[in-house]
Amino acid sequence: MPCKALHQVQRGSRRSGAPRGMTLTTFRDVPWDRPFYERAGFRVLGPDEIDQAVLAVVAREDAAGLRRAERVVVRIPLPPERIG
């Protein structure tokens, strides 16, 4: 994980009961955005993998000026909860 803060958010998401992982949107072609998340273990989702809730976020971002064509949705599985 390239960033301790990102790892902490990931662990917090797991504790909150996020069922499928942590999902976010980032810029498709900005050299430090998408590659950063991919190095951290995020995977770009295909159109058929993006649920309606995330599509609604993407639509709001598009309406706010973050053009959908320039964005990509990525997801990382959450680490298992450590016991002990």
- Residue 49: inside a domain: yes
Q: Which residues pair with 24 in a beta bridge?
A: 74
- Residue 22: inside a domain: yes
How many domains does the structure of the chain reveal?
Answer: 1
Model pTM score: 0.77
User: pLDDT for 6-65, tens place per residue?
Assistant: 777 777 776 776 666 788 899 989 988 899 889 888 999 999 999 999 999 999 999 999
Structural domain of residue 52, as residue ranges? 4-76
- Residue 46: inside a domain: yes
- Residue 82: inside a domain: no
User: From CA 40, how far away is CA 38, in angstroms rounded?
Assistant: 5
- Residue 68: inside a domain: yes
- Residue 29: inside a domain: yes
- Residue 84: inside a domain: no
- Residue 20: inside a domain: yes
